Structure 1
Amino acid sequence: MEDYRGELPDQNRKISPATVKMITIIVLIILLMIPTGLISGLINERSGRRMEAVDEISSKWGNAQMLCGPFITLPYEVVQKDYVRTHSAHFLPHELNTNGEAKPMNLSRGIYEAVVYNSILEISGTFKKFDLEKLGIDPQNVDWDKATLEIGITDMRGLTKRVSGKFNKTDLKMGPGLSSKDVFESGISSPIAVDAIQEEYTFSIQICLNGSYSLQFIPLGETTSVDMKSDWSSPSFFGAYLPGERNVGDGFEANWNILDLNREYPQYWVDEGYGVQRSGFGVKFINTADAYQQSERALKYAILFILVAFVGFFLVEVITKVRIHPIQYALVGMAIVIFYLLLVSVSEHIAFGGAYLASCTAVMILVTGYSSSVLKSRKFALIVGGVYAVLYGYLFILLQLEDYSLVSGVAGLAVLLGLTMYLTRNIDWYAVEL
């Protein structure tokens, strides 16, 4: 029998120092994710406090507003056996035109700001003859003396002046409250003179309305037209309909044209029948300089920055044989994590761009100076500083992007990976000794 004397694997072969160092680096990266998680919790806490301050400001100035109307309510009676029941017939305008201007501003409470606005709205249009027959209403049962013109408003505290206007050239006498909550929860109303004969009624109304965050309209008209303008440069159009025309620059101008065919409720009905709020549309006044949101987005890239630093130091160890202790790795990692804490705290007091520049400059000076001592080479330290200058600049660009942030981030990762592969292509990892 042939004597097989092949060498068996060395069961007692020791793990190489390079492998131990890599495992240590991975453990350090995992441990450094703990403080980044704590910073994320801090960002959420501070953001919650800001929202509380915004809600407090809004509650005194005026909350998000929705304007519904005007519409006409006619009360009428129906005799049923031995009792009389009162119903309300609601009629929507044939033509509804709104021309408005909103003037947003920032109000502060401590270090927090809330976006509020003052709007001036000119509302005009027409009502057609009441089609009582289709609703099965006898004109003689209508209490014409109690007919009202009504406008739904979300937050009555936003009214800054008495609402003025005319109905068929007669001055309106608007008072608080609606005749019912069939169409809207709150608002104002005025008695009007109407009858079963007149073919058309005209109206014109002026409203000064304070609010915050957003301004919406309900398309009650058979044809509804809304023209809005403002000096706010970052509007967000939302709701059931987007503007057919818009122009956004230093401010914005937007126009909506909506038909009754575009919604799910008719021009008239009896009592509570439809949720007209679902057809609301309008504009949000967005503050794009939300430091907490941008800080949270920046924090998602923390692992990338830590990984780049540790991989860079490890490669320097491999190439130059300079020994770097795990504690030194950890200190550099903590300096990188501190950047996000600096960013959150400084951005509460100055613009996000300035806070970002100050924070990344402080961290780059800290890391570069420490690297010079650890790596025993000013050249390598300057390379580290240069790499981080590029990374922080790239991260800032990513934070400004909306639609292309993901693809840009992935492209950056691919470039870094490719660069690392290129620089290490000639290293014999089996022969590495630290």
Structure 2
Amino acid sequence: METTKNFFKNQALTTKIVIVVILTLLMLIPIGMVRSLITEREGNKVAEQTEMSDRWGGRQLLTGPVLVLPYKQSLAVGSAAPSFVYCLPEEYNVTGDIKPEERTRGIQKILSYQSTMHFEGKFIFPDYKSLDLNEALIQWDEAYIVMGISNLQGVKNKIVFNINGHPQEILANVADNDLIRSGVMIRMPLAAADMGKSCNFDFDLVLNGTDGLHFLPVGRQTNVHFNSTWKSVAYTGDYVPTEKADVKEGIDAQWNIFDYNRSYTQMWVGKNDSFGSTKLGLDLLLPVDHYQKTMRAVKYAIMFIALTFLVFFMVEILSKKRIHPVQYLLVSFALVLFYSLLLALSEHIGFDWSYLVSALAIVMLITAYSHSIFKSRKQTLFMGLFLSALYIFLYVVIQLEDMALLLGSIGLFIALAIVMFVSRNINWYKDDERIDKSLD
């Protein structure tokens, strides 16, 4: 027993280092709990936002218009259900404006929009001979045009579908087909004599939605032009638009797509698995939310604790004042509490103000506690300045997401260089001897 006591006396400094390292590693447990709390709160937010989004209209996908021509399998009575001939427009032009609006419920918010669009284009009636079809099996009088709208509850105007300038009746229920399940349809009776003829169409659509608005490039030549006052957008799908560079506020984007840019033809019979495989559109983005920023901040928690412990340890060595492991533990709890405060406050007053309030509270708490440990204004002031610099550094790193790794690495390099410079003249073995004497 005496041998063990003498061992710890002779290794006092090393023992303290081991204890501090163990305490630092133990802080991974409460840090993990904070990360789980952030994930849980963010999951609740997503659930609420999904409910709000569905009520407003959701992410919208527009398909068509597509001309559908029912085709019997045989002339026998009671034969199998008919197949369908699908014909896409020769020309398909869309122009529109997207007006964004942030909608809130409680502490949650979503980015909704209302889009006012004008559609116009041209169909050339299908040449059934090119598909090797029997004219007698084609149900010409049952032909119709279908326009796919993924969330019909988002439609906010009475759709007037004009064919060659004449308004047509809109039917809310889409007839059976292999292509589109949700949307509207327009009866379009044809005759064999119409083969090869063309017709022009146009209509206006006012559509509510959230997050994004997407299209399928159904035309042999597709032109889609949109502008919006919202600048934070992500262009999605398989095609990159051309943007006007002189737009100061918002976006002005145009897509020009041809049939050879996609993987399906203008006309086919039956199912077509490649239809819908390519699309274009944009998503409206909210700025990075407070949950993502808080989670990003938590990733640096162990570094904060390690650096703070290192400063306390260096002060302990240089000032010859002993700091109890319990005091290290209390300081680490305060550092972890910062992230809990940040999460709770950011749900109500935004991330920036929450960060300022939480950081000030923790810096003042640890600085005041440091004074009771160091009994020195100079050392207490140093600790306060150190913590302030640390939280300022973290805030800058969070804001500069793309440069976070570089800035973080540079910051750690500078911190290590400072520690090496300050500790360059310490005789670690002699310090062990000093602590041994203080323990006797």
Displacement after TM superposition at 1:177 (Å): 2.9
Aligned counterparts of 2:166 and 2:157: Cα–Cα separation in 1:
19
Shift of 1:357: 1.0
Alignment partners' CA distance in 2, 1:120 and 1:320 = 71
1:181–1:146 Cα change, 3 Å = closer
- C-alpha distance in 2, partners of 1:249/1:20? 62
Instruction: For 1:226, give the aligned amino acid.
Output: V
For the pair 1:31 / 2:26, whether they are aligned, the reply is yes
Equivalent position SS for 1:316: helix
- Alignment-derived partner of residue 108 in structure 1: 104
Residue 156 of structure 1 aligns with an amino acid whose one-letter code is L
Q: Structure 1's 107 and 272: CA in aligned 2 closer, same or farther, altered over 3 A? A: same
**Could you tell me whether the CA contact under 8 Å between 2:84 and 2:177 is conserved in 1?**
no
In structure 1, list runs of 5 or more residues that go unmatched.
Answer: 1-11
Distance 1:349 1:272 in 2: 51
Which amino acid letter does the alignment assign opposite residue 179 of structure 1? A
Give the deviation of 1:42 after TM superposition: 0.8
| Residue 9 (structure 1) aligns with | none
Which moved further from structure 2: 224-233 or 327-336? 224-233
- Cα contact 1:364–1:388 (8 A) shared by 2: yes
Is residue 2:185 matched to residue 1:203?
no
Which of 64-73 and 156-165 deviates more?
A: 156-165
Cα pair distance change 1:64/1:332, threshold 3 Å: same
TM-score by length of 2: 0.91
CA deviations on 1:266-311 (whole Å, 9 max, x unpaired) are 1111121234332122111221141111111100000011011100
Does the aligned pair in 2 maintain the 1:226–1:257 contact within 8 Å? Answer: yes
Q: Which residue of 2 aligns with 1:8?
A: none
Contact persistence 1:183–1:275 (CA under 8 A): no
Name the structure where helix makes up a greater proportion of residues: 2
Deviation at 1:218, TM superposition (A): 0.6
Partner of 1:343: 342
Percentage of identical aligned residues: 35
- What amino acid does structure 1 have at the position aligned with 2:275? V
2:328 matched residue in structure 1: 329
Residue 62 of structure 2 is aligned to residue 67 of structure 1: yes
- Number of the residue aligned with 1:124: 120
2:234 matched residue in structure 1: 236
Instruction: Name the residue aligned to 1:395.
Output: 394
**How many pairs align?**
423
Quote the Cα distance in structure 2 between the aligned partners of 1:136 and 1:112: 57
Task: Kindly report which structure 2 residues correspond to 1:269-308, keeping only aligned pairs within 5 A, or say none.
Answer: 269-308=268-307
Task: State the 1:134 CA deviation.
Answer: 1.5
**Alpha-carbon distance between aligned partners in 2 of 1:122 and 1:51, rounded to the nearest angstrom:** 32
1:69-126 CA-to-partner distances (Å, cap 9, x unmatched) read 1111111334266754522110011111111111222222221112221111111111
Q: Relative to 1, partners in 2 of residues 1:246 and 1:299: Cα closer, same or farther, differing over 3 Å? A: farther
* Residue identity matched to 1:210: N
Indicate which of 55, 74, 77 corresponds to 1:79. Answer: 74
| Pairwise CA RMSD | 1.9
Q: In the alignment, residue 64 of structure 2 is paired with which amino acid?
A: G
**Alpha-carbon distance, 1:417 to partner:** 1.7
1:76–1:181: structure 2 CA closer, same or farther, 3 Å change rule? closer
Q: Is the 8 A contact 1:217 1:282 kept in 2?
A: yes
Q: Which amino acid aligns with 1:20?
A: T
Letter in 1 for 2:369: Y
